[in-house]
Structure 1
């Protein structure tokens, strides 16, 4: 069987879906991946994927460029002739879905989050929802990573096909193994992992870090992730003042999680936050904004603390509360987080859901062929 995967960049495909791709290849399927060329493509090729270089502007809003992407997808599907297509993130979901409808190819869509274009009300939201309605019209199944996203799509009548809730991308419990808690909390190290952009709550984090450092000079704030919006000057300034330490983009986040006491994510919206899953799986408490996609990943007061989204005051309170916890309680939070990941977020749950849906689609297709022949 031929399976085509449409995605917007290699990092997400490799870090969060590698195990699914490996399982599909292991079952003697030909797996094609369509995405822009990047440093993760050689790794994806190494596990057996066949790469199709596809130009895609993740944050671009040029309709001509997007129309060309649609034509590219139609051409790729006609050339590869896949039995089924898997799509991830907004543009592959929308234009890949339309291309599958045009070519009458079964496809499974994964809504990895609503994204800023949907979260922010206005003309862009209306256009995006209209496109989503077109893209998902013929989907065989639509996976959602949190209940609120599914309700939003159903309430707005964007999706009419079968839907299914999965625990995000799940977490690889072996790769993000449980790590012994740092020996001392004389210096409490908080870790932010994510794109440096407003929607990740980076401005609130900067302000909170300034306030916390005034009263708790032993607290450290470490940041990992590519800068996607203009925060270079602010980061340089805060680093010189000793308020934060920026480590840039990192391929190995686990080594940073291992050294931290807790992970912070003040995001405005998420599908389901992988960084929180990976941190909890490693035995680290999480502090996260109380939004869909974050709240599912922790039990407040047991495996971490929540705080109000876009509120510096609430974020400072959560950080201060954690800093003042006894060392053993911080450690127990991490242990409880690992248990939660084992019980609810094992990546194998996601892999099995995909295999079930793919098998169902192929059985239905074979049944249809028998009926018409």
Structure 2
């Protein structure tokens, strides 16, 4: 690749980079890139430094609402780009894509790769005046982000890619489909079904848009039918998301034994293997990492019939797709899998096959590195 090229990741949170982009950054470093990570530091600094990355702390918040504060963030990112002079800026999620692309205009040499990790809560909400206005603002922002013809986008599902092309935000040639963050299938391995009570598990951030309310309601319906099982929620509320499930509600559900809330868990392969069925009745996704990991562990999956989930769940083969925000049908499909161990095992085997064929981290790394080489030509 000639002289050592600089690859800068702009990500809002250090934990998100470590969980979703670390394997790509490690491969880039192995292939001769100098890797810079510009992110808000929480607890991940030592781990980032241990991998040999240069770390640039930023103050960017996902939910910042102060115009002055947002302008300061944009100026801060511009300063970083002027100082670091990256060859490639890899922006991950909405705000880094918008702000990073604007900041990159300070130099014609910076090639932008914008990772669209789902269209976000604005596009998953029912239409009203506020959401229609927000959609227009977001679309205008994305058009601005892709003004430079040297910028490319990574999409996690076909529907988001088609949406951008349909709205003439960018051309097909600059819109690349890469299946999420990938999964290490040797780490997330399948095992025998656990003995004892059937466990239905949802593992994600605790926000309403993940369909947590619908899952709790479906659990109540099945308990009223006398079905024996337990529902487990794994994850913590996202304090910066306006739709976070309040801590007091999670604690109340726990006390009332409606569901078990396990909070944050680090060893997700082991946690997923303690489940029989994995559920995500989300309103919209990019490509949910939790479902890819569940598939890799050989679990049958019930998910909402929405973009992102459709890529992972093939209805009737490795699970069921249910209409979003429909607790009754969700309850019926949960009951079907709770009662049928043979169906669970059959669907679980198909999940594992799908993960190994389409969603490994090696596939994602190879496609991303290929894109880096293309933009540097």
TM-score range, shorter chain: over 0.9
Q: Which runs of 5+ in 2 are unaligned?
A: 126-130, 239-243
Distance in 2 between residues matched to 1:245 and 1:22, nearest whole Å: 36
Q: Residue 316 of structure 1 corresponds to which residue in structure 2?
A: 331
Q: Residue 101 of structure 1 corresponds to which residue in structure 2?
A: 105
Pick aligned residue for 1:117 from 102, 119, 122: 122
Match status 1:196 vs 2:200? no
Match status 1:349 vs 2:363? yes
Q: Equivalences for 1:76-91 in 2 at 5 Å?
A: 76-91=80-95
Q: Measured at CA, do residues 353 and 230 of structure 1 come closer, stay the same or move farther in structure 2, by a change above 3 Å?
A: closer
Match status 1:137 vs 2:142? no
Distance in 1 between residues matched to 2:184 and 2:104, nearest whole Å: 30
Displacement of 1:179: 2.4
TM-score of the two chains, using structure 2 as the length reference: 0.91
Distance in 1 between residues matched to 2:43 and 2:211, nearest whole Å: 27
Contact 1:180 1:283 (C-alpha < 8 Å) held by counterparts: no
Displacement of 1:110: 0.8
Q: Which runs of 5+ in 1 are unaligned?
A: 364-373
Superposition RMSD on alpha carbons, in Å? 1.5
Displacement of 1:234: 2.4
Pick aligned residue for 1:157 from 168, 171, 193: 168
Q: What is the DSSP-based 3-state SS (H/G/I as helix, E as strand, rest coil) of the residue aligned with 2:21?
A: helix
Distance in 2 between residues matched to 1:62 and 1:191, nearest whole Å: 37
Q: Equivalences for 1:328-339 in 2 at 5 Å?
A: 328-339=342-353
Contact 1:208 1:312 (C-alpha < 8 Å) held by counterparts: yes
Displacement of 1:200: 0.9
Q: Residue 292 of structure 2 corresponds to which residue in structure 1?
A: 277
Q: Residue 367 of structure 1 corresponds to which residue in structure 2?
A: none
Distance in 1 between residues matched to 2:214 and 2:204, nearest whole Å: 14
Contact 1:94 1:136 (C-alpha < 8 Å) held by counterparts: no
Displacement of 1:280: 0.6
Q: How many residues align?
A: 360
Q: Measured at CA, do residues 269 and 348 of structure 1 come closer, stay the same or move farther in structure 2, by a change above 3 Å?
A: same
Q: Measured at CA, do residues 299 and 191 of structure 1 come closer, stay the same or move farther in structure 2, by a change above 3 Å?
A: same
Match status 1:172 vs 2:184? yes
Q: Residue 255 of structure 1 corresponds to which residue in structure 2?
A: 270
Q: Measured at CA, do residues 311 and 87 of structure 1 come closer, stay the same or move farther in structure 2, by a change above 3 Å?
A: same
Pick aligned residue for 2:306 from 291, 305, 311: 291
Q: Residue 40 of structure 2 corresponds to which residue in structure 1?
A: 36
Q: Measured at CA, do residues 87 and 344 of structure 1 come closer, stay the same or move farther in structure 2, by a change above 3 Å?
A: same
Larger deviation, residues 113-122 vs 298-307 = 113-122
Pick aligned residue for 1:11 from 7, 11, 15: 15
Displacement of 1:230: 4.4
Distance in 2 between residues matched to 1:131 and 1:156, nearest whole Å: 13
Distance in 2 between residues matched to 1:86 and 1:230, nearest whole Å: 31
Distance in 2 between residues matched to 1:156 and 1:62, nearest whole Å: 29
TM-score of the two chains, using structure 1 as the length reference: 0.92
Q: Residue 66 of structure 1 corresponds to which residue in structure 2?
A: 70
